[in-house]
Each structure stands twice: as C-alpha cells, then as structure tokens.
Amino acid sequence: MDKFVITINRQFGSGGHEVGDLRAKRLGVKIIDKEVAQAIAKKFEMTQEEFDKIDYRKPSWWEEFTMFYSPFATMGSQRTTVDKAVTSRQMYLEQTELLKKLAEEESCIVIGRCAFHIFRNHPHSVRVFVHGSEERRLKHAMEYFKVGEEEARKMMEDTDKKRYDYIKKYTGTSGYDVRNYDFTFNADELSIEEMADIIYDHLARKVDLKA
C-alpha cells in the first residue's frame, strides 16, 4: 500500500486532535503529535519546558543571521564568532526532517507542527483544518480540561495566538488560509465521526486502503 500522511491543523478546543485519534485507530496507523517535540528536545539535551520556551519564541535578527552565516564560519575568518545556542529555527528544521523520515517509513497522522506545509507536495496526503465557534470551543475545552470558563478562554486565546504566530514564522502563510488544506471542517456542524469519515473517503480515492 502506498504510504499516506494525514495532517490536522486545528483551533484550540475544536476537537481536531480527537478526529486524528479516531482516524488513526480505525486506520491502524500512528498519530504523531508531542512525540516529535520530545525527540528534538532529547537530541538537544533539553527539558520539555526549555524546548517549549525556545520553540514558540520569535527569533532575534542575530539568530536568523547566524543560522544563515554558520555554514561559512569555518572558512578561515577568525573575526567571526557564531552563536552556538540552539535557535527555534534549528529546532524547526530538525522537526521537519524527522517528520519526513517518519512519513517515508510508514503511513501516519500528524497533528499540528506545520505538517500541512511540510507535506504540501506529498502525493498521498490529506490536509485538514478544524475550526469552530468560540462558544463551541469554550464548552469543549471546559469539559475536556475540566476548567472554568475564564481559564478555558485564556487557554484558547493563548494557544491560538501561539499556533498562528508559529505557522506564520516558519511557513510564511496563515494557518487560517483555506488554500492550505483539502478540507476545512466546522466543528459546530460536523461530529468527530463525520469528519473522520470524510477524511477516510477522500484518502480511499488516493490509495488502496485495503491493500
């Protein structure tokens, strides 16, 4: 069977992760989410807290410059000192390579991590965005995380902003641009099961899932 990749980008509280979980179980494939971040953190000998702090940080002009200049740093100039601190862009590039290697080995479902952009040219990909109304997402977050409305609202606003900035920083596009996806699902109108079924039906037209 041809290897496939399903990527799911989502607004906080929309249920996008649950869609991925359900589809992964029914297809018998791995779902990749925090595992990538954990692997990269381990490679750079960081705690998860240190990784998260750098991962979502906007790189300074010096970090961007040294990332460009570092390949030339060993070409004889003794006046140049390159900052060896790990940058968020280094981690993104490592993450991208790891995701591509995983996808080469087996079919998978990837949650977030700019996967819709990384696999935009993959011949057997289904790229999905799940969104919903503020009311629906707040209710879902309160039930899922067992928190009050005020805390759920703060989690929603903070997470959505981090995801938006992260995607913009590394892809140059907006995570809300529908042109980046094969499907955009409104969680107010479709159930988790209905979204998972649509993904399956579309994927089945690309690859032989019974092979």
Calpha distance 96→117 (Å, rounded): 10
Q: Tell me what pLDDT residue 130 has.
A: 98
In degrees rounded to 5, what are phi and psi of residue 191?
Answer: -80, 170
The tens digit of pLDDT for each residue in 13-27 reads 999 999 999 999 999
Inter-residue contact 124 to 12 (CB < 8 Å): no
Inter-residue contact 147 to 90 (CB < 8 Å): no
In terms of pLDDT, which residue wins out, 72 or 88?
88
Global pTM value: 0.82
Calpha distance 159→11 (Å, rounded): 8
Please give the average per-residue pLDDT across 181-193, as a whole number. Answer: 97
pLDDT band at 62 (very low <50, low <70, confident <90, very high): very low
Q: Hey, what are 175's tokens?
A: 């995570």
Q: Tell me what pLDDT residue 78 has.
A: 43
Q: Is the pLDDT of residue 105 over 80?
A: yes
Helix (H, G, I), strand (E, B) or coil at 184: strand
Please give the average per-residue pLDDT across 126-136, as a whole number. Answer: 97
Q: Is the pLDDT of residue 157 over 50?
A: yes
**How distant, in Å, are the alpha carbons of 6, 52, 145 from that of 71?**
34, 26, 45
Q: Tell me what pLDDT residue 85 has.
A: 58
Calpha distance 166→135 (Å, rounded): 24
Q: Kindly list the structural domains of the chain, giving each domain's residue range(s) and its CATH number in brackets, ordered by start.
A: 5-204 (3.40.50.300)
